[in-house]
Amino acid sequence: MAVELHKPDDVQDGVIDAEVVEPGTMDRLKDAYAVQRVRVAARLRRWYAAEDLTEEKIYAKAVERLRLRKQAKDDRIVAEVARIRTQLGQAKARARAHEAAGGESMSHTYEIERLSGELAAAEARVEIRAGDGRKSTAADVPVPTAKDLSHERWVRKAKRAGATAAVGFGWLQLAAADFLVGLGVSGVAIPVAWWYLAREDDDLDETDIQEHDEEVEQLAGAESTSAPAASADTAVEGEPYLPPTLADAGKVSLVKRDSARVRGELDLITALVKAGIIRADQKGETHVVGVIQPAGPGWTATIELPRGVKAETAVSKVADLASSLRIKKTRIEMKADTSEDGHEGRFVLWVANEDNPYGSGITPSPLIEAPAWDFWKQGVPLGSDARAVLQTMYLLWSSLLIGGLMGYGKSYLARLVAAAAALDPTMRIIVVTGKTGPDWAPLRHIAHRWIAGADPGTIRSVLDLMESTIGEMQDRGTELDRLYEENPEAVPEGKITPELAKRGMGPVLLLVDELQELLDGAALVQVPIEDEFADEGRRPKTRSGKDLMVEGFARYVRVTRFVGGMGVFITQRPDANSVPTALREVCAKRGSFRVKGDRSARMVLGDDAVAAGAAPHMLGEDSKGVVVLDQGAEEGHVTLKSHVITLPEFKDICLRGRDLRIDAGTLTGDAVEYGKAAAAAADARRLLEDCRTVLDAAGLDRVRTERLIDLLTAHHPGRYGELTTARLQSRLREAGAGTTRKIGAVDGKANANGYLRDQFDGTGK
């Protein structure tokens, strides 16, 4: 408030006139006083309701109370044990003295037996504490229940009410003894207390003054028609005036923008109201089970909803809750509480401290350095969730469907499964990919069958492969039936066992990549089917190759599961055409990387998973490698950052897997022939390299065949010691060096036959 003092010309000396420059001064004072009243009322209400004590503080006090109670009980038990031991020692001494005097000791025997029993019972209730040798009960300090927390808060309320009554009684006694002294104390204490309660601070928020909303809105000018003149610190002309302190008093943010941390249960419940998860009149029926507590790089809370409000309704509004908390939706995870105490009206909320809790770096897979792997017992290590907890998938007896946009990590996730299978020599791998490329080429070293492409001929090969594979697996089922009849202990559950796997009946992993390309290519193929009237001149019936392919994949998953059949199906276009329902529904495990919308998320994960909070459609562009995985268990889905195996590392793993299979005698099918061709190619490359090496070492640019044999033998006698001229020329032709030619004057010959240095580059020229 600015006041100017001046003396008008027509006023005598000694007379001063005061003029208020800014209008509306009294209104401002009234507004400021009203705001102070709101603050004082809110702080007093919070203090008497003990709301300034957070749930964490109440929880800590309750734990301390239970700990002291347990300690007292422990001390009583220790004292009781000491007392009984003393009495037992005295009884034994009396018995010995009585027996030495030649008397009967029957009564003493009964007393000793009674005390020994009491001592054994007392000692059973305690155990030796580590370190100091003290005694304590075996049970740990119990976790405070909701009743304990409520009791602790009511104790604080009662203490504060008692303190207020004591202060009031003391002031009455003081005023009765000396009224002027009591009045003087009040004149100092009341203004100081008013200033302290009405101060501007950040310990009040809109939750604290919610009962004063009407007054605050009126002060804010929501229903006011008058406004003071504009100035540098007031509203512009025509807009309602907002006192500077009002924004701090009633319009503070519910949570801190940088951490999304709520102050307590009331703040969180208010956020649920603003998100539309519960109504304002249901706040009393909503509470946090236990306390809001840290969990990894974030915090978590289990929320009990009002009766009739479903957890799936709450988790479907994750974006609304993110807006209420003023954070990105990628920081929130919500899922129904599937714990033993959970039910349909309770959900678990986790909020990360950072927008991207998974980070931007990559984590190498432990499979990279593993010499071997047990697919049965060790499963597939996939990666870590946002709480840095390692997630492992056990794929045996089930199949996996992977979907999502291109470039977010689908092949890397499937590569983890393939790598774990590659390092287990009992696993048989079949690869079908809709396009050629290096992604799955390393598996050719170990794959029983390997097919790439989506042209009509390849599509027919895939259909034939599925038919033959299903037939072989059904034969395996027949063998299991026979074994069960002869030796039930060998097939306890009617399934294959690790022992049977080592004997050649190992699990079969079918890896299908670029599913959308395969189905598009199959849609262009018409496959004739058997027709009993075809020989009568009618046109043979045909079926779409796409329908047959979908049926083949789905049937494989259904009928081969109990004999070790597994499938991994990967698609980058999750829609009704590329993810047929018949195939998705037989895959118990499903993983989705980032997709465009919830419709695509449902195509991969299913309606139930998305309704339960699985939200790959809420992942951002920086969520590369982050997958929402639903393994079909009661605990629901998990979001994790997958481990990474690079292509060179994957090749090394596959080569180790080939050696393991050779040693175990389980290398079969295409891998055998591919290995022969690969070995021949490697030998050819090594021969050409050795030829270049020996010529360079001798300083030659041309050489006769006989001279080349001498150089190679000297370079590596174990490899080339028995090499003949004809054999060397034959191997060089197969390696691409071509045949001998006239090389001019060499070794005393005018125009000898031999090889030029350039021929060993592998060009055949």
Confidence of residue 20 (pLDDT cuts 50, 70, 90): very low
174: in domain: yes
Residue-level pLDDT at 237: 39
8: in domain: no
Q: Strand order of the sheet with strand 741-746?
A: 702-703, 749-756, 741-746
pLDDT of residue 310 exceeding 60, the answer is yes
Q: Give the mean pLDDT of 485-510.
A: 85
277: in domain: yes
Distance of alpha carbon 198 from alpha carbon 183, whole angstroms = 22
* Tens-digit pLDDT profile for residues 588-608: 999 999 998 888 888 898 888
Confidence of residue 241 (pLDDT cuts 50, 70, 90): very low
Residues 79 and 43 both lie in one domain: no
Average of per-residue pLDDT values in the chain:
79
Residues 431 and 539 both lie in one domain: yes
Residue-level pLDDT at 697: 92
Residues 441 and 587 both lie in one domain: yes
Residues 458 and 422 both lie in one domain: yes
Distance of alpha carbon 199 from alpha carbon 192, whole angstroms = 11
385: in domain: yes
Q: Give the mean pLDDT of 535-546.
A: 75
Q: Give the mean pLDDT of 480-492.
A: 84
Q: CA 716, 746, 714: angle at the middle one, nearest 5?
A: 10
- What is the pTM (predicted TM-score) of this model? 0.59
Confidence of residue 259 (pLDDT cuts 50, 70, 90): very low
pLDDT of residue 276 exceeding 80, the answer is yes
Which residue in 469, 473, 424, 474 sits closest to 448, CA to CA? 469
Task: Tell me how crowded residue 52 is: count the other CB atoms within 10 A of its CB.
Answer: 14
Of 49-53, 433-437, 566-570, 674-678, the range with the lowest mean pLDDT is 49-53
Residue-level pLDDT at 166: 81
Residue-level pLDDT at 341: 86
Residues 93 and 172 both lie in one domain: no
Residues 130 and 154 both lie in one domain: no
538 with 524: CB under 8 angstroms?
no
Residue-level pLDDT at 498: 87
Residues 553 and 677 both lie in one domain: no
Residue 17 has which token pair?
A: 């006139």
Q: Give the mean pLDDT of 265-269.
A: 87
* Tens-digit pLDDT profile for residues 331-382: 888 888 888 888 899 999 999 888 878 877 889 999 999 999 999 999 999 9
Helix ranges, 52-201 (H) = 55-100, 106-123, 146-177, 179-197
Residue-level pLDDT at 163: 77
Residues 92 and 189 both lie in one domain: no
Residue predicted with more confidence, 59 or 212: 59
The domain boundary residue, chosen from 144, 179, 210: 144
Q: How far is CA 609 from CA 500, 588, 672, in A?
A: 36, 12, 42
Q: Give the mean pLDDT of 672-699.
A: 87
Q: Give the mean pLDDT of 654-677.
A: 89
Confidence of residue 42 (pLDDT cuts 50, 70, 90): confident
Residue-level pLDDT at 53: 67
Q: Give the mean pLDDT of 63-92.
A: 81
Residue-level pLDDT at 251: 34
Confidence of residue 168 (pLDDT cuts 50, 70, 90): confident
480: in domain: yes
Residue-level pLDDT at 650: 96
In total, the chain counts a number of residues equal to: 765
Of 72-86, 556-570, 633-647, 663-677, the range with the lowest mean pLDDT is 72-86
pLDDT of residue 678 exceeding 80, the answer is no
The domain boundary residue, chosen from 84, 116, 144: 144
Q: Give the domain extent around 525.
A: 380-611
Q: Domain holding 308: CATH number?
A: 3.30.980.40
Q: Domain holding 430: CATH number?
A: 3.40.50.300
pLDDT of residue 26 exceeding 70, the answer is no
The domain boundary residue, chosen from 192, 218, 250: 250
Residue-level pLDDT at 34: 75
Q: Give the mean pLDDT of 413-424.
A: 96
Total domains in the fold of the chain: 5
Q: CA 451, 453, 457: angle at the middle one, nearest 5?
A: 85
Question: What proportion of the chain, given as a percentage, has pLDDT over 70?
Answer: 79
pLDDT of residue 140 exceeding 60, the answer is no
Residues 463 and 482 both lie in one domain: yes
Task: Tell me how crowded residue 317 is: count the other CB atoms within 10 A of its CB.
Answer: 16
Q: How far is CA 42 from CA 92, 164, 204, 464, 486, in A?
A: 70, 17, 8, 77, 81
Residue 466 has which token pair?
A: 């599925």
Residue-level pLDDT at 467: 94
605 with 637: CB under 8 angstroms?
yes
Of 157-161, 163-167, 208-212, the range with the lowest mean pLDDT is 208-212
Pick from 13-27, 99-113, 122-136 the range whose average pLDDT is largest.
Answer: 99-113
Residues 48 and 59 both lie in one domain: no
Residue predicted with more confidence, 122 or 623: 623
Work out whether strand 428-433 and strand 449-452 pair parallel, antiparallel, or are unpaired: parallel
Residue predicted with more confidence, 430 or 228: 430
Residues 131 and 154 both lie in one domain: no
State the amino acid at position 111 in one-letter form. Answer: E
Can you list the positions of beta strands (E) in 265-313? 287-294, 298-304
420: in domain: yes
Confidence of residue 330 (pLDDT cuts 50, 70, 90): confident
Question: What proportion of the chain, given as a percentage, has pLDDT over 90?
Answer: 32
Residue-level pLDDT at 188: 72
pLDDT of residue 550 exceeding 90, the answer is yes
Residues 155 and 139 both lie in one domain: no
Work out whether strand 400-403 and strand 565-570 pair parallel, antiparallel, or are unpaired: parallel
631: in domain: no
19: in domain: no
Distance of alpha carbon 66 from alpha carbon 59, whole angstroms = 11
